């Protein structure tokens, strides 16, 4: 059964330092939600509080409207996959996966059935007798996931689950994780600092910064319509342009929102044209060209704008590849930009009269586990 998760005004202090400040988040039942942010933003601390590994100073966490802060970790019905996997190296695959079932005193016959089902789910059937140390990194990640899911938890927590894998395997496991989550229907909250990982796997993304949530939305919403400057810059490449009297500098585009401030135009929203061609709103000089296979990443300087403009183009759509020093025309692909709000952290701290304080996520003591 899928579980709804609600975090209300969660605050954590450690040694007099504020790590989380009134974090609130609604996680719909059966959804995959990712906490995304730089190191020290509070995302792993949030996960540890949910799991019962760290205490909250204020606020509460509710599963299906029931508060859980008084429950010890082993009674919260939560599966947890650690960044290091935390597998027992001297045990077999089957013994690792069944560990949570042994703790719950599940009968042996039922344990074998559940372990076989979990290994089938992660597409590693028939490996139960193998020493876990003989497996590849990707296989160990799947075993850690099978162990977290074998007892049918109401909530699955993933702490940087793909960080130890190489790029190609990481991309493969993104697909697998999402497949497994959909098949089980388990409400899942993941933590990562990898933007691509969060955007590809999640139903919702919560962007964290300095112990607060800056924005929550679908992957498309947070990327295409960032609420704050921090979100715009943190998620991919961004051209930040001034807005004056309701118009975007250089391009003269109208905006939604405040008449003065800053907006973002993504590199893929700029179209490369010949110099002087109709609709070329901005004349610029190419300063660098990076070939990235399926994309070309260009930087170009424009008069009246201090920072280079970033442009992302498809090589096959260009008559020829520009070179540094070439003069080009740029126009906006279409759509109405939005004026960005001030960062949530800056506004809240100004109102509170406090300086933002944070420590790295690992400032909260991590749990240790003894082998069985």
In this structure, the answer to whether residues 181 and 289 fall within a common structural domain is no
In this structure, the answer to whether residues 173 and 32 fall within a common structural domain is yes
Widest CA span in the chain: 77
What pLDDT, on the 0 to 100 scale, is given for residue 14? 85
| Long-range CB contact pairs, 298-304, < 8 A, 24+ | 298/272, 298/322, 300/328, 300/330, 302/250, 302/330, 304/249, 304/250
Q: pTM score, two decimals?
A: 0.86
What pLDDT, on the 0 to 100 scale, is given for residue 342? 75
CATH number reported for the structural domain that contains residue 252 in this entry: 2.40.50.100
Tell me the C-alpha to C-alpha distance, in Å, between residue 362 and each of 182, 241, 250, 300, 355: 30, 36, 44, 40, 21
One-letter-per-residue 3-state SS of 279-300: CCCEEEEEEEEEECCCCEEEEE
pLDDT in tens, 103-123: 899 999 999 999 999 999 999
Listed as ranges, residues in the chain with pLDDT below 70 are: 1, 274-280, 343-372
Which range of residues forms the domain containing residue 156? 5-225
What pLDDT, on the 0 to 100 scale, is given for residue 2? 78
Nearest in space to 149 (alpha carbons), one of 101, 205, 192? 101
- Sequence-distant (6+) residues with CB within 8 A of 14 are 359, 363, 364
pLDDT in tens, 329-362: 998 988 888 999 876 654 444 434 444 444 444 4
CATH number reported for the structural domain that contains residue 40 in this entry: 3.40.50.300
What pLDDT, on the 0 to 100 scale, is given for residue 280? 56
Instruction: Choose the final residue of a domain: 225, 255, 279.
Output: 225
What pLDDT, on the 0 to 100 scale, is given for residue 25? 97
In this structure, the answer to whether residues 246 and 104 fall within a common structural domain is no
Task: Decide if 34 is inside a domain.
Answer: yes
What pLDDT, on the 0 to 100 scale, is given for residue 343? 65
Nearest in space to 40 (alpha carbons), one of 9, 10, 69, 18? 18
d(Cα 349, Cα 361) in Å, to the nearest integer? 20
In this structure, the answer to whether residues 163 and 234 fall within a common structural domain is no
In this structure, the answer to whether residues 130 and 26 fall within a common structural domain is yes
Task: Decide if 360 is inside a domain.
Answer: no
What pLDDT, on the 0 to 100 scale, is given for residue 344? 60
DSSP code, position 341: B
When divided into structural domains, the chain yields a total of: 2
In this structure, the answer to whether residues 278 and 219 fall within a common structural domain is no
Residue 125: Cβ within 10 Å count: 12
């Amino acid at each position: 059964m899928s579980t709804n998760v609600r975090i209300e005004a969660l605050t954590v202090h450690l040694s007099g330092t504020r790590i989380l400040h009134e974090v609130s988040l609604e996680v719909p039942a059966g959804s995959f939600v990712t906490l995304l942010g730089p190191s020290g933003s509070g995302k792993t601390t949030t996960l540890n509080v949910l799991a019962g590994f760290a205490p909250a100073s204020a606020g509460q966490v509710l599963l299906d409207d029931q508060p859980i802060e008084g429950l010890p970790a082993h009674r919260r019905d939560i599966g947890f996959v650690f960044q290091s996997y935390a597998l027992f190296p001297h045990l077999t695959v089957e013994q690792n996966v069944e560990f949570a079932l042994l703790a719950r005193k599940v009968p042996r016959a039922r344990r074998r059935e559940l372990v076989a089902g979990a290994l089938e789910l992660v597409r590693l059937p028939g490996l139960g007798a193998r020493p876990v140390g003989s497996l590849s990194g990707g296989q160990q990640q799947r075993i850690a996931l099978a162990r977290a899911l074998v007892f049918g938890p109401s909530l699955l927590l993933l702490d940087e689950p793909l960080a130890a894998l190489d790029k190609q395997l990481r991309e493969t496991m993104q697909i697998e994780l999402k497949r497994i989550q959909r098949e089980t229907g388990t409400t899942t909250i993941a933590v990562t600092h990898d933007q691509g990982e969060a955007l590809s796997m999640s139903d919702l993304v919560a962007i964290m910064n300095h112990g607060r949530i800056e924005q929550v939305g679908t992957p498309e919403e947070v990327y295409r319509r960032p609420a704050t400057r921090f979100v715009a810059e943190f998620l991919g490449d961004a051209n930040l342009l001034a807005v004056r009297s309701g118009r975007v500098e250089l391009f003269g585009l109208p905006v939604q929102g405040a008449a003065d401030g800053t907006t973002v135009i993504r590199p893929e929203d700029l179209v490369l044209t010949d110099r002087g061609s109709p609709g070329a709103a901005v004349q610029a000089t190419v300063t660098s060209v990076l070939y990235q296979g399926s994309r070309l990443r260009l930087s170009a300087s424009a008069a009246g704008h201090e920072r280079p403009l970033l442009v992302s183009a498809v090589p096959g759509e260009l008559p020829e590849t520009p070179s540094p020093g070439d003069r080009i025309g740029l126009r906006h692909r279409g759509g109405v930009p939005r004026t960005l709000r001030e960062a949530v952290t800056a506004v809240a701290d100004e109102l509170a009269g406090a300086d933002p304080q944070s420590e790295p996520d690992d400032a909260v003591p991590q749990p240790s586990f003894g082998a069985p």
